[in-house]
């Protein structure tokens, strides 16, 4: 019987674990507090993945990592997590699927394809790029089987995402939407459920290993269009929307350690940021969840 270890039980980890379990596989979900989705085939384990993962992954076919340290602690804490994941895969023989994002590419004017070189210009981009390069090096050396999945900006209930922080609550409350971006450039949006579907498809395929894959994108519309569409789906008037001023962004960045991380990622929102997922569609026959279905899930029931 196939078994997997899923590290992390946020929206993506939960979606991944449930899909694996609902389609017949056994899953061990590892989080610090032992939380996660309920299903007869899912075992919830409270553990520190950075120190206990090798023992917990014995007998598993695949380790799927959907966890990361707190956003502002990536440089300090991500290397230990990455090393633990690599060690567990090598020690147990489990394949390793890493959930990442597009930070490692750095600024790119054209649509992002998964074969682009990694040229990060930010601290967090360097962290993500190094995690991928370390995994790929271990794969190419024959020590593990490794692959990576990269989504765009998240849409989904419970996701730590700018849509959930800055767009949805203000639209629903009729307040002005103030967003740190060029509001009218194309931008890729990924439903968390589709991230889970991609991770499962990649984990179960022999053609996945030794490269990165992009998730299906629910939409590539601009931030202004996304806010307007959400208001329409939610059945509320669209409030005014404007770009955050430099002074406002500076003030927000001094408010807490997480928002302090926002300025270095501004390049992703000042130019088009579109992820090409055509290779994923061809390889795995995956399709994105329709945008309005995703937005209805995020809107309160009428």
What is the predicted pLDDT for the residue at 251? 86
Which SS3 state, helix, strand or coil, does residue 84 take? Answer: helix
The closest alpha carbon to 160, from 3, 12, 4, belongs to: 12
Q: How far apart, in Å, do the first and last CA atoms of the chain sit?
A: 43
Q: Which residues contact 272 (CB under 8 A, 6 or more apart)?
A: 109, 185, 186, 187
* Tens of pLDDT, residue by residue, the chain (302 residues): 589 999 999 999 999 999 999 999 999 999 999 999 999 999 999 999 989 999 999 999 999 999 999 999 999 999 999 999 999 999 999 999 999 999 999 999 899 999 999 999 999 999 999 999 999 999 999 999 999 999 999 999 999 999 999 999 999 999 999 999 999 999 999 999 999 999 999 999 999 999 999 999 999 999 999 999 999 999 999 999 999 988 888 888 788 887 888 889 999 999 999 999 999 999 999 999 999 999 999 998 75
What is the predicted pLDDT for the residue at 1? 54
Within its chain, how far is the Cα of 287 from the centroid? 17
* Cβ proximity of 27 and 19 under 8 Å: no
| Report field, pTM of the whole predicted structure over 0.85 | yes
Between vectors from CA 112 to CA 107 and to CA 114, what angle results, nearest 5°? 120
Q: Which domains does the chain have, with CATH numbers?
A: 3-154+190-217+274-289 (3.40.50.720), 156-185+221-270 (no CATH)
- Compute and round to an integer the Cα radius of gyration of the chain: 19
The closest alpha carbon to 227, from 282, 183, 263, belongs to: 183
* Cβ proximity of 254 and 260 under 8 Å: yes
């Amino acid at each position: 019987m196939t078994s997997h270890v899923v590290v992390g039980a946020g929206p993506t980890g939960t979606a991944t674990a449930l899909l694996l379990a609902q389609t017949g596989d056994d899953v061990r979900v590892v989080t610090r507090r032992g939380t996660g989705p309920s299903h007869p085939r899912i075992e919830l384990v409270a553990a520190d993945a950075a120190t206990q993962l090798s023992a917990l992954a014995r007998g598993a076919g695949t380790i799927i990592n959907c966890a990361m340290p707190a956003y502002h602690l990536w440089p300090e804490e991500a290397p230990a997590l990455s090393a633990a994941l690599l060690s567990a895969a090598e020690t147990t023989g489990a394949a390793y699927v890493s959930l990442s994002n597009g930070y490692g590419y750095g600024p790119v004017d054209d649509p992002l394809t998964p074969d682009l070189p990694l040229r990060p210009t930010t601290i967090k981009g360097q962290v993500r790029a190094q995690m991928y390069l370390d995994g790929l090096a271990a794969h190419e050396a024959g020590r593990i089987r490794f692959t990576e999945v990269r989504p765009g900006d998240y849409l989904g209930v419970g996701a730590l995402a700018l849509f959930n922080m800055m767009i949805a609550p203000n639209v629903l409350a009729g307040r002005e939407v103030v967003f740190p971006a060029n509001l009218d450039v194309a931008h890729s949006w990924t439903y968390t459920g589709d991230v889970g579907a991609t991770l499962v498809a990649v984990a179960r395929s022999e053609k996945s290993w030794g490269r990165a894959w992009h998730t299906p994108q629910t939409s590539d519309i601009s931030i202004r269009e996304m806010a307007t569409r959400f208001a329409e789906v939610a059945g509320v008037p669209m409030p005014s929307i404007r770009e955050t001023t430099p002074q406002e962004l500076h003030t927000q960045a001094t408010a807490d350690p997480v928002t302090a991380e926002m300025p270095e990622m501004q390049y992703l929102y000042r130019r088009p940021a579109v992820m090409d997922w055509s290779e994923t569609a061809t390889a795995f026959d995956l399709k994105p969840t329709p945008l309005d279905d995703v937005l209805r899930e995020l809107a309160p029931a009428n």
